[in-house]
Structure 1
Amino acid sequence: MDWPKFLSETEGQIGQFQTKAPDTMKGFGTMSRAAKRDGALSEKTKEFVALGIAISTRCESCIGFHARSLVRLGASREEIIELLEMAAYMGGGPSVAFGAKALDAFDQFSAIQTKGT
Protein backbone atom coordinates (compact mmCIF):
# COMPACT_ATOMS: atom_id res chain seq x y z
CA MET A 1 0.00 0.00 0.00
CA ASP A 2 1.15 3.52 -0.71
CA TRP A 3 0.53 4.93 2.77
CA PRO A 4 1.10 8.62 1.97
CA LYS A 5 -1.34 8.41 -0.96
CA PHE A 6 -3.84 6.44 1.12
CA LEU A 7 -3.76 9.02 3.93
CA SER A 8 -4.06 11.87 1.47
CA GLU A 9 -7.19 10.28 0.00
CA THR A 10 -8.54 9.61 3.50
CA GLU A 11 -7.93 13.22 4.53
CA GLY A 12 -9.86 14.32 1.44
CA GLN A 13 -12.77 12.09 2.38
CA ILE A 14 -12.71 13.35 5.95
CA GLY A 15 -12.68 16.91 4.59
CA GLN A 16 -15.82 16.16 2.60
CA PHE A 17 -17.48 14.74 5.71
CA GLN A 18 -16.39 17.81 7.66
CA THR A 19 -18.31 20.07 5.25
CA LYS A 20 -21.48 18.10 6.02
CA ALA A 21 -20.91 17.69 9.78
CA PRO A 22 -18.79 20.65 10.90
CA ASP A 23 -19.89 20.62 14.53
CA THR A 24 -19.12 16.93 14.90
CA MET A 25 -15.68 17.33 13.35
CA LYS A 26 -14.96 20.44 15.43
CA GLY A 27 -15.78 18.42 18.54
CA PHE A 28 -13.62 15.54 17.37
CA GLY A 29 -10.71 17.92 16.74
CA THR A 30 -11.07 19.43 20.20
CA MET A 31 -11.11 15.97 21.75
CA SER A 32 -8.06 14.93 19.72
CA ARG A 33 -6.00 17.93 20.82
CA ALA A 34 -6.98 17.45 24.47
CA ALA A 35 -6.22 13.73 24.43
CA LYS A 36 -2.78 14.18 22.83
CA ARG A 37 -1.64 17.03 25.07
CA ASP A 38 1.50 16.26 27.08
CA GLY A 39 0.65 15.49 30.70
CA ALA A 40 1.56 12.54 32.90
CA LEU A 41 2.07 10.75 29.58
CA SER A 42 3.88 12.36 26.67
CA GLU A 43 2.22 12.81 23.29
CA LYS A 44 4.61 10.17 21.93
CA THR A 45 3.51 7.63 24.55
CA LYS A 46 -0.12 8.40 23.78
CA GLU A 47 0.53 7.86 20.06
CA PHE A 48 2.04 4.44 20.85
CA VAL A 49 -1.20 3.58 22.69
CA ALA A 50 -3.24 4.89 19.75
CA LEU A 51 -1.26 2.81 17.26
CA GLY A 52 -1.80 -0.31 19.38
CA ILE A 53 -5.54 0.38 19.46
CA ALA A 54 -5.55 1.05 15.70
CA ILE A 55 -3.93 -2.34 15.12
CA SER A 56 -6.34 -4.15 17.42
CA THR A 57 -9.39 -2.51 15.82
CA ARG A 58 -7.97 -3.11 12.32
CA CYS A 59 -8.39 0.51 11.27
CA GLU A 60 -6.02 1.11 8.35
CA SER A 61 -6.63 4.87 8.34
CA CYS A 62 -5.89 5.05 12.06
CA ILE A 63 -2.73 2.97 11.57
CA GLY A 64 -1.54 5.44 8.95
CA PHE A 65 -2.34 8.54 10.99
CA HIS A 66 -0.66 7.27 14.15
CA ALA A 67 2.37 5.77 12.37
CA ARG A 68 2.89 9.13 10.67
CA SER A 69 2.57 10.94 14.00
CA LEU A 70 5.11 8.62 15.60
CA VAL A 71 7.60 9.39 12.84
CA ARG A 72 7.03 13.11 13.47
CA LEU A 73 7.57 12.55 17.20
CA GLY A 74 10.87 10.74 16.65
CA ALA A 75 9.88 7.17 17.44
CA SER A 76 12.49 4.60 16.49
CA ARG A 77 11.87 1.49 14.44
CA GLU A 78 12.91 -0.54 17.49
CA GLU A 79 10.18 1.11 19.56
CA ILE A 80 7.63 0.32 16.86
CA ILE A 81 8.77 -3.33 16.73
CA GLU A 82 8.32 -3.64 20.51
CA LEU A 83 4.86 -2.11 20.26
CA LEU A 84 4.02 -4.61 17.51
CA GLU A 85 5.22 -7.49 19.67
CA MET A 86 2.86 -6.40 22.44
CA ALA A 87 0.00 -5.96 19.98
CA ALA A 88 0.63 -9.47 18.62
CA TYR A 89 0.68 -10.90 22.14
CA MET A 90 -2.62 -9.23 23.00
CA GLY A 91 -4.38 -9.63 19.65
CA GLY A 92 -3.07 -12.80 18.03
CA GLY A 93 -2.97 -13.39 14.29
CA PRO A 94 -5.05 -10.41 13.18
CA SER A 95 -2.79 -8.08 15.14
CA VAL A 96 0.27 -9.69 13.56
CA ALA A 97 -1.18 -8.97 10.09
CA PHE A 98 -2.20 -5.40 10.90
CA GLY A 99 1.03 -4.87 12.83
CA ALA A 100 2.92 -5.69 9.64
CA LYS A 101 0.87 -3.00 7.90
CA ALA A 102 1.77 -0.56 10.67
CA LEU A 103 5.47 -1.30 10.26
CA ASP A 104 5.19 -0.73 6.51
CA ALA A 105 3.41 2.59 7.13
CA PHE A 106 6.06 3.64 9.66
CA ASP A 107 8.85 2.73 7.24
CA GLN A 108 7.26 4.67 4.37
CA PHE A 109 6.70 7.80 6.46
CA SER A 110 10.22 7.49 7.91
CA ALA A 111 11.68 7.35 4.39
CA ILE A 112 9.80 10.53 3.45
CA GLN A 113 11.06 12.32 6.56
CA THR A 114 14.62 11.15 5.89
CA LYS A 115 14.46 12.55 2.35
CA GLY A 116 13.19 15.86 3.68
CA THR A 117 16.08 16.36 6.11
Structure 2
Amino acid sequence: MEEKVGAAVELVWRNDELTDPPGTRPDGMGDEHRMTCEVLECDAPHRLAISWGSTGGVTFTLREQGDEVLLTITHHRVTDPAVLLNVSAGWHSHVDVLEAKLRGTAATPHWVNFVRLRGDYMGRLAG
Protein backbone atom coordinates (compact mmCIF):
# COMPACT_ATOMS: atom_id res chain seq x y z
CA MET A 1 0.00 0.00 0.00
CA GLU A 2 1.07 3.55 -0.52
CA GLU A 3 2.03 5.31 2.71
CA LYS A 4 -0.06 8.40 2.06
CA VAL A 5 -3.44 9.72 3.11
CA GLY A 6 -6.10 8.85 0.55
CA ALA A 7 -4.35 5.73 -0.76
CA ALA A 8 -6.47 2.63 -1.28
CA VAL A 9 -5.78 -0.46 0.83
CA GLU A 10 -7.26 -3.84 -0.06
CA LEU A 11 -7.58 -6.18 2.90
CA VAL A 12 -7.90 -9.88 2.09
CA TRP A 13 -8.75 -12.48 4.72
CA ARG A 14 -8.02 -16.16 4.03
CA ASN A 15 -8.42 -17.35 7.59
CA ASP A 16 -8.15 -21.05 6.73
CA GLU A 17 -4.50 -20.36 5.83
CA LEU A 18 -3.52 -18.73 9.15
CA THR A 19 -2.79 -21.90 11.09
CA ASP A 20 -2.26 -25.57 10.31
CA PRO A 21 -4.72 -26.99 11.08
CA PRO A 22 -7.16 -24.07 10.82
CA GLY A 23 -9.95 -25.65 12.86
CA THR A 24 -13.55 -25.83 11.66
CA ARG A 25 -14.82 -22.66 10.02
CA PRO A 26 -18.04 -21.45 11.69
CA ASP A 27 -21.26 -21.29 9.68
CA GLY A 28 -21.58 -18.05 7.76
CA MET A 29 -17.83 -17.47 7.45
CA GLY A 30 -16.54 -17.64 3.89
CA ASP A 31 -13.19 -19.00 2.79
CA GLU A 32 -12.16 -15.50 1.66
CA HIS A 33 -13.30 -11.97 2.48
CA ARG A 34 -12.14 -8.70 0.87
CA MET A 35 -12.56 -5.06 1.78
CA THR A 36 -11.17 -1.92 0.18
CA CYS A 37 -10.26 0.74 2.71
CA GLU A 38 -8.57 4.13 2.57
CA VAL A 39 -5.53 5.41 4.44
CA LEU A 40 -6.74 8.16 6.78
CA GLU A 41 -3.47 8.79 8.61
CA CYS A 42 0.05 7.49 8.15
CA ASP A 43 3.04 8.14 10.39
CA ALA A 44 5.21 5.14 9.52
CA PRO A 45 6.24 3.13 11.37
CA HIS A 46 4.35 4.36 14.44
CA ARG A 47 0.74 4.91 13.43
CA LEU A 48 -1.67 3.96 10.66
CA ALA A 49 -5.37 4.75 10.47
CA ILE A 50 -7.65 3.29 7.79
CA SER A 51 -11.35 3.49 6.99
CA TRP A 52 -13.44 0.39 7.60
CA GLY A 53 -16.20 0.07 5.06
CA SER A 54 -18.84 2.67 5.76
CA THR A 55 -18.88 2.11 9.51
CA GLY A 56 -15.83 3.75 11.02
CA GLY A 57 -12.15 3.09 11.03
CA VAL A 58 -9.21 1.30 12.58
CA THR A 59 -6.06 2.79 14.06
CA PHE A 60 -2.88 0.75 14.53
CA THR A 61 -0.23 2.18 16.86
CA LEU A 62 3.22 0.73 17.57
CA ARG A 63 5.17 1.77 20.67
CA GLU A 64 8.43 0.44 22.05
CA GLN A 65 8.16 -1.17 25.49
CA GLY A 66 11.61 -2.22 26.63
CA ASP A 67 12.86 -4.84 24.18
CA GLU A 68 9.37 -5.48 22.77
CA VAL A 69 6.81 -3.51 20.78
CA LEU A 70 3.25 -2.84 21.91
CA LEU A 71 0.65 -3.00 19.13
CA THR A 72 -2.60 -1.20 19.94
CA ILE A 73 -5.57 -1.65 17.62
CA THR A 74 -8.51 0.71 18.07
CA HIS A 75 -11.60 -0.05 16.00
CA HIS A 76 -13.97 2.93 15.96
CA ARG A 77 -17.77 3.10 15.68
CA VAL A 78 -18.90 -0.51 15.53
CA THR A 79 -22.50 -0.33 16.72
CA ASP A 80 -24.08 -3.63 15.60
CA PRO A 81 -23.58 -6.15 18.46
CA ALA A 82 -23.15 -9.13 16.10
CA VAL A 83 -20.53 -7.28 14.07
CA LEU A 84 -18.83 -6.11 17.27
CA LEU A 85 -18.47 -9.72 18.46
CA ASN A 86 -16.92 -10.85 15.17
CA VAL A 87 -14.65 -7.81 14.89
CA SER A 88 -13.44 -8.14 18.49
CA ALA A 89 -12.81 -11.89 18.25
CA GLY A 90 -11.32 -11.45 14.78
CA TRP A 91 -8.73 -8.85 15.76
CA HIS A 92 -7.88 -10.77 18.93
CA SER A 93 -7.45 -14.12 17.16
CA HIS A 94 -5.36 -12.58 14.37
CA VAL A 95 -3.08 -10.88 16.89
CA ASP A 96 -2.73 -14.22 18.72
CA VAL A 97 -1.50 -15.81 15.46
CA LEU A 98 0.88 -12.89 14.85
CA GLU A 99 2.29 -13.14 18.38
CA ALA A 100 2.84 -16.90 18.09
CA LYS A 101 4.63 -16.47 14.75
CA LEU A 102 6.84 -13.68 16.12
CA ARG A 103 7.73 -15.78 19.19
CA GLY A 104 8.32 -18.92 17.13
CA THR A 105 5.58 -20.90 18.87
CA ALA A 106 2.56 -22.79 17.56
CA ALA A 107 -0.68 -20.82 17.42
CA THR A 108 -3.98 -22.31 18.51
CA PRO A 109 -5.95 -23.31 15.40
CA HIS A 110 -7.47 -20.04 14.20
CA TRP A 111 -11.13 -21.01 14.10
CA VAL A 112 -10.97 -22.79 17.47
CA ASN A 113 -9.50 -19.63 19.00
CA PHE A 114 -11.95 -17.34 17.15
CA VAL A 115 -15.01 -19.27 18.40
CA ARG A 116 -13.68 -19.31 21.98
CA LEU A 117 -12.88 -15.59 21.88
CA ARG A 118 -16.29 -14.74 20.41
CA GLY A 119 -17.86 -16.51 23.37
CA ASP A 120 -15.58 -14.61 25.77
CA TYR A 121 -16.52 -11.28 24.18
CA MET A 122 -20.20 -12.20 24.24
CA GLY A 123 -19.88 -12.65 28.02
CA ARG A 124 -17.99 -9.36 28.41
CA LEU A 125 -20.46 -7.37 26.33
CA ALA A 126 -23.49 -8.89 28.05
CA GLY A 127 -22.24 -7.70 31.44
TM norm structure 1: 0.32
Task: Name which one, 1 or 2, has greater alpha-carbon Rg.
Answer: 2
- Greater strand percent: which structure? 2
TM norm structure 2: 0.30
- Greater helix percent: which structure? 1
Larger RCO (alpha carbons 8 Å, 6+ apart): 1
